[in-house]
Every structure is written in C-alpha cells, then in structure tokens.
Amino acid sequence: MKAKARFTIASLAAALVTSTALFSAAIAEEVKIGMVVTLSGPPAALGQQIVDGFQLALDQNGGKLGGQDVTLIVEDDELKPDVALLKAKSLVERDEVDFVVGTVFSNMLQAIFKPVIQSDTFLISPNAGPSTFAGKNCNPYFFVTSYQNNQNAEVSGMIANEEGFEKVVLMVPNYQAGRDNVAGYKQTFKGTVADEIFTPLGHQDFSSELAQISTADADALFTFMPGGMGVRLVKQFEAAGLGDNIEFTSVFTTDETTLPGQQDAAVGFLSAGAWAPDMKNDANQAFVSAFEEKYGYVPGSYAAQSYDTANLIASALEKTGGDMSDKDATRAALEAADFTSVRGSFAFSNNHYPVQDFHLLEVAKRDDGKFWTTAKRTVVTDYADSFHAECKM
C-alpha cells in the first residue's frame, strides 16, 4: 500500500516533469527573428529589398520556416551606429530573439556585432561582409550569407585580366568600403593602374573626375559607387561620351537597385557578382518570378541573399525541430547549409563566410522594358575569401 502510494507520487511527479518539458518545447516552437536593416534615407531601397526577400520566403511557407511558426521583427538602423546598437540590444534583451538578421552596411554590423554575439544569439548578415570578422575575429555565432566585401573587387580584377585590360583607372568614394575595393582589385589585377581617384561620399558632379579619366589613356574604369552616386556617374559617363573608348566595369554600381534610374545608359556595362536574376537554376527562376509578382520590381542581390538567409534558417530549424536551447546543434545545422540557394552552389567556409561561384555580369534590357543584370560566364568557382585561413574555427 505504502509502496503503491510512493509509486503514484513518483509517476505523478514524472508526469509533471514531462508535461512542463512538453510545455516549454511548445513555447520554443515559436521562433523569433529580429532584423536590423537600413530603411531611412536614400539607401532605404537596399534595406527594403532585404525585408521583401525574407518576407517572400516566409509567405511562401505560410509564415513558417522549417515547420516552425516565425515572428519577424523588423528594425530600422537609420544608418546610424548608435541607433543600430540600441535596436539590436532591444531585440536581444527585450524581445529575446533567436536570430538577428542584419545588416546592409558594414559599419552598422560593427556596431551590433558585440551585443548580439555576447548574448549567444546567432547573427546572420544578409549583405555586409567585412574582413574584420572573417579572419582571426571570426565567431561561432556569426554567419554571412552574402560574400566577403573584397571578393567582388578581386573577381573584377580577374575579369580585367581575362578581358585583356592593360591600363585601368580606379575610382571609389573616400571611405573604408571604397578603399577595400581598391585593395581587392589590385590584389588580382595584373595590368597597370593608371590613376586612383577618391571622391567624397555622396558625390554629385563627376564632370571633373571624368575629364581626368579621359586623359588617362586607359582601357577600362573600375568603380564602386553604390546607390545614387552610381546613377549619377553612369548617366554622366554616358553623356561625356567616355563609353566609346573606355570600358565601364564596377561592383554594386549597376545593379537592380540603380538600374531603374540608369536605364539605357548602363546597358552593356560589366560587373562581378555571385548572383544575377537571370541565372538558370530552378530555385532562382521560381524566386525571381514570385518576387516580381508580389512586389512589382526586379529583385537585386540584396533580396536574393535575404531569401537565401530565410531558407538557411528554415533548413536549420527543420534539423533541430525548432529547439533553440541547443546552440551547438543549431550551429551545426546552419554550418551544413542544407538548402537550395538561388545562387546554385553555396557552402560555408570555416569562418562562416560563403564559398561560392562568381560570375561576369552584364546589364541588359528585357523584352518588357525593365532592366536587369545577366550572368555572362563564370569567372571563378567555389571561391573562398582571402581571410579564412586566419580563422581558428
């Protein structure tokens, strides 16, 4: 009798324990994802692409990723490091998110990196890929699904070699990313750099720089002028008639975010990248047509990388069954990158930066009158960044 009673209490207790375990598992099923991107000022178009790309992946799966219900909290960093820091902190501390997805710009990433990482929350960058966290400061909680910042410029240097450019003028805005692109280009380019021009950030009138370029007797111009700067440069480059003698090559200057402004002036211009909306794999074609139907504009690399980020998280949640308590299991699942990327090949290097193919891209006008970039040929396959050897992971 006594023994029986003890048994009942024990089983009761056991039942209680299992039920609380079940209960907490049920809570954990709702996965919270915080997003920190730039949604104010002229660069808002880039942040919006990231939000739209992620939202598309969510909507296609009925608001779930990897079978788990997902709450997405979007925050605007206003392109101010202090605001980014505040938003990231509130996501981690108040909302207790499981993943932080961000940012567009590398300097915003530097601002949010520490507080997110120190709270053992996974930070996944859908665009910014600074060298800072690719080498010896790589981190088990940090992933990049885009590229390492220098890579596109390095590939541009390879393209210049292949195209037989002997003399090239480099022109970039005078800030860190601009100088990184110059360094990356010089690393692979074998010809002569005729001139290096550094303009102020947000430069309006390139007429004096274009006059300078016209006297340099160069085969090509390599530039990195994201956003409005790129729109102005391309228009003014065409108006100055430089296109007849000098090949325009660039990164992040003639892409889907700037082409609606540049239009015909940019057609035929070359760039380097890991993705183009016309890439022939099934996942990409489905993504591009669904995206255009939903949002009415041609997605750029920002949207594609963000869509990949959502699918990466989905693949990890599928593997772990949504259990966010086991960080190591989640990390292993993320590292496996077991999802179909719109870029075709995709894997993570030891530093959690992507290993992927890079292509020569060319701007083209579509039959429906819209503009996009097309992948002409693959320049380098399974290309890892130059810093991963320094990472001890």
Binding site for other proteins (CB under 8 A): 41-45, 48, 174, 196, 198-200, 202, 204-205, 207-208, 210-212, 214-215, 227-228, 231-232, 235-236, 239-242, 244-246, 257-258, 260-263
Q: Which is nearer to other proteins, 72 or 246 (CB)?
A: 246
The least CB distance from residue 74 to other proteins, in Å, is 15
Q: Which amino acid is at 215?
A: T
287 φ/ψ sector (left φ>0, alpha ψ -120 to 50, else beta)? alpha
For residue 194, the minimal CB distance to other proteins (Å) is: 12
For residue 102, the one-letter residue type is G
Nearer to other proteins, 124 or 363 (CB): 363
Ranges of H-type helices in the chain = 2-28, 44-60, 81-93, 106-118, 149-163, 176-188, 207-214, 228-239, 259-262, 282-295, 301-320, 327-336
Compare residues 227 and 354 and give the one whose CB is closer to other proteins.
227
Give SS3 for 227: coil
Shortest reach from residue 124's CB to other proteins, in Å: 24
**Minimal distance in Å, beta carbon 198 to other proteins?**
4
- What are the CA-CA distances from residue 265 to residues 12, 161, 259, 357 (Å)? 76, 25, 9, 28
Residues 6 or more apart whose Cβ sits within 8 Å of residue 359:
272, 273, 274, 276, 375, 376, 377, 378, 379
- For the CB of residue 178, give the shortest distance to other proteins in the complex, in Å: 10
CB of 60 to other proteins, least distance (A): 24
- Beta-carbon count within 10 A of 289 CB: 11
Give Cβ neighbours of residue 209 (< 8 Å, ≥ 6 apart): 171, 197, 199
Complex with other proteins: residue 115 or 184, whichever CB lies closer: 184
Q: Decide: helix, strand or coil at residue 36.
A: strand
Which of 218/279 has CB closer to other proteins?
Answer: 218
| Residue 69, beta-bridge partner list | 64
In terms of CB distance, is 239 or 286 closer to other proteins? Answer: 239
Q: Please, which residue, 248 or 348, has the CB nearer to other proteins?
A: 248
Q: How far is the CB of 346 from other proteins (least distance, A)?
A: 28
